[in-house]
Structure 1
Amino acid sequence: MRWWPLGASALLALSFKALGQGAIHKCLQPDGVVLYSDQACSMAHGNLALSVSGYADYPPLLRGLAKVWHEQVQPLFGGVDLLPYLALLYGLMSLVCFFAYWRDKRFAMRGARRTPEARLHLYELLGGWPGGLVAQRLIRHKNRKLGYQLTFWSIVLLHLLTAALVLWLAHRP
């Protein structure tokens, strides 16, 4: 016997029962959408808002973040392209961070009071990590201390992951 002539609703109900899901509820939503669920209609209605809002195709862990990004964060910028402003911020903070590394190296050679590592990490965290990386390579400062390097590369990774997430969210419908 062929199973597809049963119709989509009967096939869906049989597949849920085969998976051991128990009772299947057919819920007609106010907007006319029919929802089949193993939850009572009152619970399923709450979950429908997410599924028809356009966020159902996002990975489950990013749905809430996607909703906040598209509905609350992006409208704040009113269609303004943020890339030039971010480039300016990274450029300025990189200069500040490079200067702080250079100053700390100069003070270290003189035996004078040094710049605290926490402040250097703050400059990196605020977007100056490219300048810190250039300073580590050019003036060879803070490039051998393992604890410092672990924190530095953690900051770099945080920035790259955040940039990837923002670009991914910004270029999805």
Structure 2
Amino acid sequence: MTLNRFCYLLLIFAALGSLLTSHPLAMWFLLINVLTMSMYGADKMAARKGLRRVPEATLLVFGATGGWPGAIVGQQLFRHKTQKQPFKTYFFISVVASTAVMAAVYAFLPFSPL
């Protein structure tokens, strides 16, 4: 199994696992942020050792699905993907899009308080 498929398999498990809890949205954000931060660490380690890397598109997808706070922490903690300009631009766009979607969902869908 390739590393990219394994990352998406973890994403599916996080989604399914969060649905089985009493607060699925809160659990989703916790799981996706921990996974995203871990992926940045694993990618940095792979870069240092010359191993197979996590594709940038996968990192961006995890950030765009709500894991962007974990991505920011992972970038700063592991000093990874902080200088590459095209990635920084795409990451910023994904953060803005993710925040806009979360705000729209919150504004237009009725939620019961946690």
Q: Same fold (TM over 0.5)?
A: yes
Paired positions, count: 88
**CA contact 2:64–2:94 (8 Å) conserved in 1:** yes
Name structure 2 gaps, 5 residues minimum: 1-22
Secondary structure class of the residue paired with 2:88: helix
| 1:105 equivalent in structure 2 | 44
Matched, 1:151 2:83: no
Greater helix proportion: 2
Query: Using the alignment, how far apart are the partners of 1:165 and 1:119 within structure 2?
Result: 24
Query: Using the alignment, how far apart are the partners of 1:126 and 1:163 within structure 2?
Result: 10
Taking only aligned residues, the RMSD between alpha carbons, in angstroms, comes to 1.5
2:68 pairs, out of 116, 125, 129, with 129
Name structure 1 gaps, 5 residues minimum: 1-83
**CA contact 2:32–2:62 (8 Å) conserved in 1:** yes
Secondary structure class of the residue paired with 1:104: helix
Which 4+ runs in 1 deviate beyond 4 A? Answer: none
Query: Using the alignment, how far apart are the partners of 1:164 and 1:120 within structure 2?
Result: 22
Greater strand proportion: 1
Aligned-pair CA distance for 1:170: 3.8
Alignment of 1:154-165 (within 5 A): 154-165=93-104
TM-score scaled by length of structure 2: 0.70
Q: Percent identity?
A: 34
Bigger Rg over Cα: 1
Alignment of 1:1-173 (within 5 A): 84-170=23-109
**CA contact 2:65–2:98 (8 Å) conserved in 1:** no
Secondary structure class of the residue paired with 1:143: coil
Aligned-pair CA distance for 1:100: 0.8
Secondary structure class of the residue paired with 2:101: helix
